[in-house]
């Protein structure tokens, strides 16, 4: 893929995205690549199949490929917006589960501290 092709395909993907704040990133690394990103969300398009498929990475921060990657849903979607929503729901389930565990631990620690 050339830089021009990556830019054109990335712009097509960018036009499909709902909401605000989406940006196109095109880079070269043994070939030209593109992604559409919004903060710590990165959308990748695979054109290996007859119809494009999308996957999403969610990570901390706003640096491309930077920070820890969280809650990767190992699934491809035909709609990039559905891919984003699925990733966000997956992350929210994890956060809710983690918050429940933290709340239970805090309650046990507070109970133990009161007994002293």
Three-class SS of residue 111?
A: helix
pLDDT at residue 27 is higher than 90: yes
36 falls in which pLDDT band (50, 70, 90)?
very high
Q: Which of 54, 57, 65, 68 is nearest to 90 (CA)?
A: 57
Write down the H helix ranges in 1-116: 3-16, 80-115
pLDDT at residue 18 is higher than 90: yes
Q: What is the mean pLDDT of residues 54-68?
A: 74
What pTM value is reported for the model?
0.76
Q: What is the mean pLDDT of residues 5-13?
A: 96
Angle formed by the axes of helices 80-115 and 3-16, nearest 10°: 70
Q: What is the mean pLDDT of the chain?
A: 86
């Amino acid at each position: 893929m050339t830089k021009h092709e990556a830019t054109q395909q990335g712009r097509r993907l960018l036009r499909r995205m709902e909401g605000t704040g989406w940006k196109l990133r095109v880079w070269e690394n043994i070939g030209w690549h593109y992604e559409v990103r919004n903060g710590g969300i990165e959308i990748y398009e695979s054109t290996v199949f007859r119809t494009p498929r999308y996957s999403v990475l969610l990570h901390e921060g706003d640096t491309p490929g930077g920070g820890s990657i969280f809650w990767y849903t190992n699934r491809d979607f035909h709609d990039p917006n559905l891919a984003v929503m699925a990733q966000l729901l997956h992350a929210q389930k994890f956060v809710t589960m983690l918050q429940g565990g933290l709340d239970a631990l805090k309650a046990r620690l507070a109970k133990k501290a009161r007994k002293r």
